[in-house]
Chains A and B, each alone.
Chain A
């Protein structure tokens, strides 16, 4: 059991997303860094899609109301448990009364969101098949909203009998992706790609894009050269998914993120591939990114690579925990 001690941190309960309700206008939501959530759960022996807490704003504090095992993945945020420094991407054991404090992520490779997984997962009701917070619809997660001071959340169990005190090499190090020293993500061209001027297409792949302050779980607004269509386009509304890069009239692209609405009408330049959404989800406001043109086969292979990394994590964690005499 945990009690939130911080306000205005935009922290939300997320799992791997809500599927099957796009037909009602309900987007998938879910953790911006799905790999960090999955890995944290695997370290704790949770189901890979158990709900955790995504923390995008720092500093952040909470108090453990009962003994609990937990994992902190995602951003390395100088975490302390009752002032004891904690290693990042690691599992720990908390005693009732201890306070977990997350500081501000620092350093050149800093990520922007921390994921806190709890033994047994965050225990909130499932709504439409998921525990992710649906902010627009104000349901799911913890009361359909971001967490605030005083909120008390339960975890599935206290994690007793399972080893803690080990960690993982973060995927940013295990599967790095950069272009000219800048964080990069792979993009598959979308329906209106060829309807943009060749010079715009060239610029898209070859320049840096800055993630502006008008960026959040709904979408990232990018600053850079305006992308120009060959002729003005007015499209009928159609389904979209997280990763779709829309270009409104201003020409400044918007990358739809996890809380993206499930449909839109702006021209679509391309889609950041599913396997790289976590990279974008961790890119801080004000940082720069590059886009890499990719093919279907490469995108599917990238997804397989992420799956294989998780499978290896699960295997190694399981071996380690059984060697230490737990499940």
Chain B
């Protein structure tokens, strides 16, 4: 992992959005400050949407401002003032079949971490994972709290399609796919759950503040 920046970093995503990356350790409290910052920035007139990532925040513009200095100053001040925003949510338990055809990259995680399949399953299913942010595809949850011993770099060549329900590890993070699509993560198991319904209010089944526990349904070789 890269050393986290000492001060917040601002960067551009074309003229469409600004990316704010927070410094310091990556934990729930840092993410809660990102949630607080998102809530504040969303109300600013030039911001179309404030989208939390993992210890970072993307701000999309209604119209790109002529200059960025004023916005960056305001964002910096808001970050410094941001208090962790506690969000109480529910706990959702997902039954996971680890390994087998639903976990095609388990061997790569074994090879990189030096852990056995049993150890990987135990470490992966132990924590209560807070939902830090949604992204990637409709209903997909980025989870915090994965044991760092499981960290495995993203794949050199992304896989063209992994199915919905795929439980994967990418770098220091873990997550569950909500629908079939390409992925650069290492898939170690599969689960079943409906994560998104466009007609529902809200359309995503899980929100930042909710928590996921992976229950071991089976471990296949």
Beyond A20-B48, A22-B51, A25-B204, is A241–B13 a contact (Cβ under 8 Å)?
yes
Nearest chain B CB to A253's CB is how many angstroms away? 13
Among A190, A239, A250, A299, point to the contact of B15 (Cβ < 8 A).
Answer: A299
**Does B170 sit within 8 A of A, measured CB to CB?**
yes
Closest Cβ of chain B to A89, distance in Å, is 26
Interface pair B15/A237, CB less than 8 Å apart = no
Name the residue on B nearest A19 (C-beta). Answer: B48
Contacting residues, chain B, for A196 (C-beta < 8 A): none
Residues of chain B contacted by A189 (CB below 8 angstroms): 12
Question: How far does the Cβ of B158 sit from chain A's closest Cβ, in whole Å?
Answer: 7
Instruction: Please tell me which one of the listed residues B138, B172, B196 contacts residue A234 in the complex, with CB atoms under 8 A apart.
Output: B172
Please indicate the chain B residues that have their CB under 8 angstroms from the CB of A218 in the complex: 182
For A252, the closest partner residue in chain B by CB is B157
B14 on interface, CB distance cutoff 8 Å? yes
> Chain B interface secondary structure, helix, strand, loop or mixed?
loop
B contact set with A: CB distance below 8 Å: 1-2, 9, 11-17, 19, 21, 26, 48-58, 60, 64, 66-68, 133-140, 142, 153-158, 170-173, 178-179, 181-182, 184, 196, 198-199, 202-204
Chain A interface residue number, banded: 35 or more
Residues in B whose Cβ lies below 8 Å from that of A232:
153
The answer to whether B14 touches A128 (Cβ under 8 A) is no
A195 CB to closest chain B CB (Å) equals 9
Nearest CB in chain B: distance from A73 CB, A: 23
Given contacts A24-B204, A25-B139, A296-B64, 7 further A-B contacts (CB under 8 A): A19-B60, A234-B154, A240-B58, A249-B157, A261-B135, A300-B64, A303-B15
| A4-60 at interface with B (beta carbon < 8 Å) | 19-27
Specify which chain B residues have a CB less than 8 angstroms from the CB of A134 in the assembled complex: 138, 198
Nearest CB of chain B from residue A307's CB, rounded to whole Å: 10
Q: What 1/0 mask marks residues of chain A from 239 to 280 whose CB sits below 8 Å from any chain B CB?
A: 111111000111000000000011111101001111100000
The answer to whether A188 has its CB under 8 Å from any CB of chain B is yes
For residue B66, give the distance in angstroms from its CB to the closest CB of chain A.
7
Closest to A193 in B: B11
**A286–chain B nearest beta-carbon distance, Å:** 20
Q: Which secondary structure dominates chain A's binding surface?
A: loop
Q: 9 A–B contact pairs at CB < 8 A? A: A23-B50, A25-B137, A137-B139, A190-B11, A241-B16, A241-B58, A242-B16, A273-B14, A274-B16
B53 touches A236 (CB 8 A): yes
Q: Of all chain A residues, which has the CB nearest B196?
A: A137
Contact A271 B138 (CB under 8 A): no
A24 to B173, CA, bound (A): 18
Q: Given A261-B135, A261-B137: A137 and B198 within 8 A (CB)?
A: yes
Is there an interface contact between B19 and A238, defined as CB atoms closer than 8 Å? yes
Residue A233 is within 8 A (CB to CB) of chain B in the complex: yes
Q: Which residues of A contact B54 (CB under 8 A)?
A: 236-238
Q: In the complex the two chains form, is A24's CB within 8 Å of B203's CB?
A: yes
Q: Which residues of B contact A241 (CB under 8 A)?
A: 13-14, 16-17, 58, 60
Name the one of B9, B26, B172, B178 contacting A191, with C-beta atoms under 8 angstroms: B9
| Contact present for A239 and B19 (CB under 8 Å) | yes
8 A Cβ contacts from A282-297 to B: 296-297
Residues of A within 8 A of B137 (CB): 25, 27, 136-137, 261
Question: CB within 8 A of B21: which of A20, A191, A272?
Answer: A191
**CB <8 Å contact, B138 and A263:** no
Contact residues in A for B203 (Cβ distance below 8 Å): 21, 24, 26, 128
0/1 interface trace, chain A 60-83, chain B, CB 8 Å (1 if under): 000000000000000000000000
Q: Are B184 and A248 in contact (CB under 8 A)?
A: yes
| CB-based contact A188/B139 at 8 Å | no
| Bound complex: CA A189 to CA B138 (Å) | 28
Tell me if A182 counts as interface (CB < 8 A to partner B). Answer: no
Collect the chain B residues with CB atoms within 8 Å of residue A265's CB.
Answer: 154, 170-171, 173, 184
A138 within 8 A of B: yes
- Tell me if A233 and B2 are in contact (CB < 8 A): yes
A112 to B11: give the CA distance in the assembly, Å.
32
